[in-house]
Structure 1
Amino acid sequence: MTHPVHAAAHTATTAAWTSPQPAHCYHCGLPLGGGERWPALIDGVEHDMCCPGCAAVAQAISDAGQSSYYRERSGYAATAAQASLAPPELALYDNADPRFAARDGNPADSEATLLVEGIRCAACVWLIERRLMQLPGVQHASMNVATERLQVRWHKDRCQPADILGALHAIGYQAWPYDAARHSRQLQQAGRALGRQLFVAGLSMMQVMMYVAPAYLADDGTLDDSMAALMQWASLLLTLPAVCYSALPFFRGAWNSLRARALGMDVPVALGIAAAFGASCIATWRGHGDVYYDSVTMFIFLLLCSRYLELAARRKASAALERMQHGLPASATRLPDWPLGRGSSTVAASALRAGHFILVKPGEAFAADCEIVEGQTSVDLSLLTGESAPQHMARGASVPGGAINASAVVVARVDKPASDSTLSGLLKLIEGAGAEKPQLAQWADRAASRFVAGLLLFALAAFAWWSWYDAARAWPVAIAVLVVSCPCALSLATPSALAAATGRLLGKGVLIVRPHVLETLHRATHIVFDKTGTLTQGRPTVQRIDALGGTAASAALQVAAALEANSVHPIGRALLAAAGEAAVMARWNATDVQELPGQGLEGTVQGIRYRLGNATFVAGIAGAAMLATPGDSDGDGTPVYLGSGGAWIARFLLCDALRPDAQATVDYFRARGKQLVLLSGDSEALTLRVARSLDIPLASGEFLPQQKLAYVQELQQEGAVVAMVGDGINDAAVLSAADVSFAMGSGAALAQAHADTVLMNGQLGAVADTARTAARTMAVMRQNLAWATLYNLTAIPAAALGYLNPWLSGAGMALSSAVVVLNALRLRNEKG
């Protein structure tokens, strides 16, 4: 792809191209019109463009950080019309925009989430996906009609971002790297444009109705022919704005589909409008025959009404993501000399690094993941967890980026840069979520794309039959068949319901990462729970320390805490809390620490090699013989042992209370006939005690991660659909293997990354809430598909048999789409 910039451009020539006359387009140099302005902001300066296309390209170049193109170019760019928005300027995205990032685990692959403008239905989705999969190097392309987001993955040596964007532009769709602010502006602009078109169509419809009403009400011979002709000509003139302006989205969509050799949902709509309006114009010109101006204007108005509802649903679906996108502030107050001084400076949030100190005032958001080092306050975590009640945070408390300081000034130490904050990580998951589709949605897309071809053939057959049987009715019947069909309802049946459900769950602190969650959870036969941090609070406390050798209990606790100094496991945090973390870090230092998941830690403290963990693990270094201690078999807590070469040193008994919503969650799934299983790495006695208290019939303790994985895989081989709920690094493998999985929001980041769903609110009851939402969503999706199918199977034959006239067909088609969208929106408002 040839770049228009020439390094040898002279300074004078460059200045001439950089600063065109005000009467010319800053991008392509064409004269500016005297009407509407299309500005673009480049390097902080607003420049006028000649058309929306040039404005879009110029703004995209600036947004990609390549505005130096305008300072260095030696000539104007091709116009947007000439290049179809696929000019060399798109090459500026190649290897320049960080949003086109290398894929984790495979640097040869890249992936991106794109925002696509102009999506109308499932046929658009099918067309985009098919076109991109034809590009060399593209490995995956998945478009979501409800959120307008495209997830695409490609091999960077065979394909470039410009190729992908250019292919989309070539079939009539504009695309940019996903940005919530741009998406919000796009939806607002689309809403305003659709509102204007809706107003014009409604005004035309009302005026046309006034002129056709006398023809409907008059008896034969009572309406003068000249007056009837005058009213028809007036109706023609009043219908023109609706056809030439309000119906433009349908004609553009149909043209783009045909140009790409595909049959989109707009094709039968555009054909119906054109056929009805064309037949009416011919009848008006000849002075005899039927006219359908009232049907045309009513059809356009009602269809725009249904699309307005669809647009409202899209805006609601993107609202939660947009709110999270703006959760992290753009700047922060840094204290560069703290604690020696309290001098402050305002810096960009992106400039914060681990170890920086920031001042957070009431009402401000924490710019990154922090630890409070001075003061105490209440923190609003509703953006992250869905929990509306503020939480008290004091010195030493960890606060995630995006949380709102609700009451008092605090000083906090930055633990991670803003780009690696909890909220940023969640946003990356959210932006990737929803791009793929569950099986039911994929079936609906395939059915809808084939529906149009079958409909056009059926309309042609109906026209041919009526031409033979009653030629006068052939044209009205063909128009009615084209108009009455509702492929839009079929295409919107599943994505509208999924968008409403996932938006509702996100607002309650449940992040759906994979597309199949609701569908698979509804079919799950087995619910497998981890114990620590899942059914229990995950915050165990040291209840008793039994010294087993000559070492004092306090010294044994300090050794154990030194080994756990960098642990994120709940047991490790409990030992640190019992010893006093500051004292441990000052006096003890563990080196060469190794962790064996599900067993414990091994490391060197003060030159002595220790093991900390379960009895079997510690016996490997301390020897098989162990002194019996009170409570070894009573199952009242989790025993953790400390040993060194040939000696058992101490036994720590930790207790962890059940979550308050654990019983209700287990009862919910039991009442619905699910098989409940508890798998834990803790002792068998403690695991069985928790299982008995919750009435879980199947429970096993002392399970290593690989044993959990093998257990779940064995269930799946027997035909079970397994849902796994876990917390912590130990659960990452089994979370990946389960058919559908949940990670507690307070758990380890690795477990969340491998889970299909992240419970950001940290509440176990959210699993049952997700299951209830899944049941309702599947019911709504089936209702929508059943309604769309039943409507089309009833209405299309009725129109073909001549029982429906064009205007009634248009009303039915618009009503069918509206019913599907409104039914899906109920999911956002349901209680529970």
Structure 2
Amino acid sequence: MSAVPAAADCFHCGLPVAPGSRWEVAIDGIDHPMCCPGCAAVAQGIVDAGCADYYTSRTEFGARGSDMPAELALYDDAAKADAVFSVEGMRCAACVWLIERSVARVPGVQSAYMNVTTERLSVQWDAGTCKPSDILKALRQVGYTAWPYDRARHGEQLEKARKKLFRQLFIAGLSMMQVMMYAVPVYLATDGTMDADMMALMHWASLLLTLPAVLYSAQPFFRGAWNNLKQGMPGMDVPVALGIGAAFAGSVWSVLRGQGDVWFDTVTMFIFLLLASRYLELVARRKAAQALEKLQHALPASALRMPGYPGARETEIVAASQLCEGDIILVRPGEALAADGVIVDGVTELDLALLTGESRPQERKVGDGVPGGAVNAGQAVVVRVVRGARDSTLSRLVAMVERAGQGKPQLALWADKVAAWFVAALLLLAVLVFIGWQLTDPTRAWEVAIAVLVVSCPCALSLATPTALAAATDLLVRRGVLVVRPHVLETLHRATHIIFDKTGTLTEGKPVLRHVGVFRGADRERCFQVAAALEQSSAHPLGAAIRAANEAPPLYAQDVASVVGQGIEGRVEGRLHRLGRASFVAAISGPLSESTAAGMTAVYLGDEDGIMARFDLADALRGDALALVRQFQRAGKEVILLSGDQQDVTARIAAELGIGRAIGAQLPADKLAFVQDLQAGGAVVAMVGDGINDAAVLSAADVSFAMGGGAALAQLHADCVLLGGRLAALGDAADTAARTLAVIRQNLWWASAYNVVAIPAAAFGLLNPWMAGVGMSLSSAVVVINALRLRRAKN
């Protein structure tokens, strides 16, 4: 029902209008009075935005208008095109509609999503035509105060809410214990040993002690029920609030009349046990969010820039957001890297636990890349920034975390719908039960109806899915798997086809030495020494692979010269040697026959006396690739290798892994068409890739996974990111998905079975209200505790 002001009240905010006020706004052709220019501006802004329907659908008055502050321009940042805003002043469902519609009408805004639970607004816009101040201004014009979302402030609000819930739980527990002290003697005095005056005193004492629990501790249930009813959606708070209210009202009526049953002990116990289960759920959710919170807070706010490096080593403190590509920064022991970079001086170890889930420090030396957010666990190093803080690895992951909080998986949406219908049916049943008992035994009608309301447990039904998913997400983040989309676990579990890209996914994405052949009786160790000496200063991946394979003492090369696309030559111990293509080496060694193994790259070594050795290199399989492929095959899923590499190379990798279907030479459009053809045939496709050319097919797959070390574009299009680049993490995700779905089924089965048994028992008068309260609270606790088992890693 619309909120309608009196004739002398402001039509927008409902406050009195001063006599002689000249402010008014025409809404639907009728002039309505306004109390001040602020309300007039807000109302006119709503009308001008085409949102006049707000006044017919609102259930409460709007916030009073205020002048537009000039400070809004301080929030502008031309480089950003999306943000999350905190919004104040929300009152009802009409507010969500008004906020989303008003922001969507701002020129340049591409999408606007208002989360009514968190009071956070997610907006994407075109940076060329829209600024954050335009969005904040549009919100103020329709009566809402907003500011860019701040994690610290949001964290303080969450902690404040936790403390309040704990206080409510404490008051309810204290009331319950005190009321029990008066209720137990009454229960024991069933043989008439307690006179009427003493019993009345006990009842009045119980009433006074129950008031704090009902008026303070039960606030979340009454507020939630009221909001549910205003939105026309009966949630799980409705029967709880009705049960508390009915039991308390009936008990008060009995005390005032001096006869009848009282249930103050039931009311306080019910409130305490239900608050305890809610507090348990809150703690579970906060624990599940800790890993993500650490990830969000890991990027430092400042950095030590070295403007004069290498000539001078003085540092200056700058904001991390000001770092640009090419800047040189000093990272001291114990500090986190403010941006992605490359070490230019020093050797250290990095703690990558937050980024990859890897618990052991990783050694990094000059030339190695280092990600923003990693903690320097060794010596001080000098780093050249390759990406600004806003585009760093950690910043991208934080953006994914923000996106991961939006939306619900299908299982949770289904449970919410079932719970809503369940509550509506329960309320109707309670009415019918009351009428039935009123006709058969009026003295028990109120008691039985209360028991029906109290014993039902839509809470367990609604908690069954989200609590399990929260616990599973926590476990996966600690194992280096960032779930970005809410449907990942359930879709991965029912996937019929697992499709892998090859390079950088099943393989390391860099060549390794697979075989060495020597000629003319050459010494194998000396061939390694000579080749490594020629490649000592080379940055070519093939040269790096040969150097990495050399375990012999180093030699030194002179007069080294590189020929692009051919190879490298130089003198080692006075003799001229060449390393590279067959034709390049043959120029000094004489003719030789090429016999490269399929899928291999051959690098020849020779001197003026002839060919000395051939090094066969190929992209190496990841050490955990074979185990993962077999894991999916044992689970009955078809594994396919889909690669842009040549067919013979793709087939060789597939043969090594036991993959029956391998398709090579695939362009991005070919990969996309292949996946879409599978889906058209009813397949549920999971795609794993890492390259830019995988972005389109990752988006098209039913569920997709990007390697943490892969291209940023691929990660942005994936549903899940394997942070450490370990394929075994995908196996962990598959195991966790199976366990999570099993726990969800257990929770749903328990919630359904409990209600099927408990509600009829209460309806037939077999359960007292206090027994119903205990059963309902324990049912919710069982669901939460069962879900928390997922936080423990499976051995």
Structure 2 counterpart SS, 1:527: strand
User: Is it true that 1:809 corresponds to 2:772 in the alignment?
Assistant: yes
Q: Which residue among 630, 637, 640 is the counterpart of 2:594?
A: 630
What letter matches 2:689 in structure 1? G
Aligned residue identity for 1:801? F
Instruction: Please list the CA deviations of residues 219-257 of structure 1 after superposition, one character each: whole Å capped at 9, or x if unmatched.
Output: 332111111001011111111111111112222222333
Is 1:419 aligned to 2:419, yes or no? Answer: no
Is residue 391 of structure 1 aligned with residue 354 of structure 2? no
1:665 to 628, 644, 666: 628
Query: How far is the alpha carbon of 1:441 from its aligned partner?
Result: 1.4
Distance 1:304 1:189 in 2: 16
Going from structure 1 to structure 2, the CA distance change for 1:692 and 1:165 (only over 3 Å counts) comes to farther
Matches of 2:752 and 2:71, distance apart in 1: 43
Asked whether 1:112 is paired with 2:76, we answer: no
Q: Partners of 2:479 and 2:141 in 1: how far apart?
A: 39
Residue pairs, 1:623-702, within 5 angstroms: 630-632=594-596, 634-637=597-600, 654-702=617-665
Is the Cα contact below 8 Å between 1:94 and 1:160 reproduced in 2? no
Mapped to 2, the partners of 1:761 and 1:116 lie a distance apart of: 39
Three-state SS of the structure 1 residue aligned to 2:366 is: coil
Matching residue's letter, 1:344: T
CA contact (8 A) 1:533 1:747 kept: yes
Stretch deviating more after TM superposition (389-398 or 326-335)? 326-335
Q: 2 CA distance for matches of 1:268 and 1:188?
A: 28
1:404 pairs with one of 375, 383, 386: 375
State the SS of the aligned residue for 2:181: helix
Q: Distance in 2 between matches of 1:90 and 1:798?
A: 60
Could you tell me whether the CA contact under 8 Å between 1:93 and 1:162 is conserved in 2? no
CA distance in 2, matches of 1:116, 1:652: 67
Counterpart in 2 of 1:463?
434
Whether contact under 8 Å (1:101, 1:112) holds in the other structure is no
Rounded Cα–Cα distance in structure 1 between residues aligned with 2:359 and 2:90: 36
Q: Deviations over 1:21-70 (max 9, x none)?
A: xxxxxxxxxxxxxxxxxxxxxxxxxxxxxxxxxxxxxxxxxxxxxxxxxx
Match of 2:710 in 1: 747
Name which of 691, 699, 705 aligns with 1:728. 691
SS in 2 for 1:657: strand
Amino acid at match of 1:337: G
- CA separation of 1:266/1:304 partners in 2, compared to 1, >3 Å: closer, same or farther? same
Residues 787, 543 of structure 1: alpha-carbon distance in 2 compared, 3 angstrom cutoff: closer
2:338 to 361, 367, 388: 367
Counterpart contact for 1:745–1:752, Cα < 8 Å: yes
Match of 2:197 among 204, 226, 229: 226
Q: Distance in 2 between matches of 1:776 and 1:656?
A: 35
Aligned to 1:23: none
State the SS of the aligned residue for 2:304: strand
| AA aligned opposite 1:735 | L
Aligned to 2:221: 250
* CA distance in 1 between partners of 2:94 and 2:457 (Å): 19
2:155 counterpart residue number: 184
Alpha carbons of structure 1 residues 430 and 740: separation in structure 2 relative to 1, 3 Å: same
CA offset digits 1:356-401 (Å, max 9, x no partner): 2111111111111121111110111111000011111111111111
Residues 110-167 of structure 1: CA deviation (Å, up to 9, x unaligned): 6637699999xxxx9x99977877778496647597xx58564588999955777999
Q: Deviations over 1:549-583 (max 9, x none)?
A: xxxxxxxx9xxx9xx99xxxxxx855798899xxx
Q: CA deviation at 1:430?
A: 0.9
Q: Is the 8 A contact 1:745 1:762 kept in 2?
A: yes
The 5-angstrom pairing of residues 559-598 of structure 1 reads none
In the other structure, the counterpart of 1:283 is 254
| Change in 2 beyond 3 A, CA 1:509/1:93 | farther
Letter in 2 for 1:231: M
Instruction: After TM superposition, give the deviation of residue 758 of structure 1 in Å.
Output: 0.9
Which residue identity is paired with 2:432?
A: A
Matches of 2:787 and 2:77, distance apart in 1: 32
The code of the aligned residue for 2:274 comes to L
Q: Do the aligned partners of 1:151 and 1:435 also contact (CA within 8 Å) in 2?
A: no
User: What is the Cα deviation at residue 681 of structure 1?
Assistant: 2.3
Gaps of 5+ in 2: 1-59, 106-110, 518-530, 549-559, 566-590, 604-613
Of the three residues 786, 790, 793, the one matched with 1:827 is 790
Contact 2:63 2:89 survives alignment (8 Å): no
Deviation at 1:728, TM superposition (A): 1.2
**Could you state the TM-score of these two structures normalised by the residue count of structure 2?**
0.76
Change in Cα spacing, 1:130 to 1:220, as seen in structure 2 (3 Å) is farther
The question of whether the paired residues in 2 share the 8 Å contact of 1:331 and 1:349 is answered with yes
Structure 1 CA distance for aligned equivalents of residues 660 and 315 of structure 2:
59
Bigger Cα displacement from structure 2, 748-757 vs 247-256: 247-256
Residue 326 (structure 1) aligned with residue 297 (structure 2): yes
Cα deviation per residue 1:481-532 (whole Å; 9 max; x = unaligned)? 2212222222221111111111211121111112211111101111111111
Contact 2:338/2:389, CA 8 A, preserved across alignment: yes
Note the alpha carbon deviations across 1:281-334, whole angstroms, 9 max, x for none: 111111111111000100110011011011101211221111011111122222
Structural RMSD (CA):
3.9
Task: State which structure, 1 or 2, has the greater radius of gyration over its C-alpha atoms.
Answer: 2
Give the match's secondary structure for 1:656.
strand
Aligned AA (2:674): Y
2:672 is aligned, of 706, 709, 732, to 709
CA separation in 2, counterparts of 1:793 and 1:175? 46
Q: Percent identity?
A: 56
Change (3 A) 1:519 1:101: farther
Residue type of the alignment partner of 1:671: R
Q: Do residues 339 (structure 1) and 310 (structure 2) align? A: yes
Aligned to 2:579: none
TM-score by length of 1: 0.73
Of 430, 454, 457, which aligns to 2:401?
A: 430
**Cα 1:635–1:113 shift into 2, 3 Å:** farther
Aligned ranges for residues 347-366 of structure 1 at < 5 Å? 347-366=318-337
Q: Look up the SS of the partner of 1:763 in the other structure.
A: coil
Partner of 2:177: 206
| Cα pair distance change 1:685/1:289, threshold 3 Å | same
Local SS of the residue matching 2:705: strand
Superposed CA deviations along residues 596-638 of structure 1, whole A, max 9, x for unmatched, are: xxxx9xxxxxxxxxxxxxxxxxxxxxxxxxx996245x32425
Q: 1:667 to 1:131 in 2, by over 3 A?
A: farther
Cα shift readout 1:711-756 (whole Å, capped 9, x = no counterpart): 2222222211111111212222221221111111111111111211
Return the alpha-carbon distance in structure 2 between the equivalents of residues 431 and 93 of structure 1: 26
Report the Cα distance in structure 1 between the residues aligned to 2:75 and 2:750, rounded to whole angstroms.
Answer: 44
Per-residue deviation at 1:90? 9.3
Residue 440 (1) aligns with residue 411 (2): yes
SS in 2 for 1:537: strand
1:165 and 1:298 mapped to 2: Cα distance? 45
Q: Are positions 1:762 and 2:725 aligned together?
A: yes
Contact 1:334 1:344 in 2 (8 A): yes
Is contact 1:115-1:183 (8 Å) kept?
A: no
CA drift of 1:184 comes to 2.7
Offset of residue 708 of structure 1: 2.0
Secondary structure, aligned partner of 2:508: coil
Deviations 1:407-433 (A, max 9, x none): 101111112221111101110011101
Q: Measure, in 1, the Cα distance between the counterparts of 2:369 and 2:61.
A: 52
Q: How far apart are the structure 2 equivalents of 1:743 and 1:629?
A: 42
**Structure 2 match to 1:478:** 449
SS in 2 for 1:288: coil
Which one is further off, 289-298 or 239-248? 239-248
Distance 1:629 1:430, change over 3 A: farther
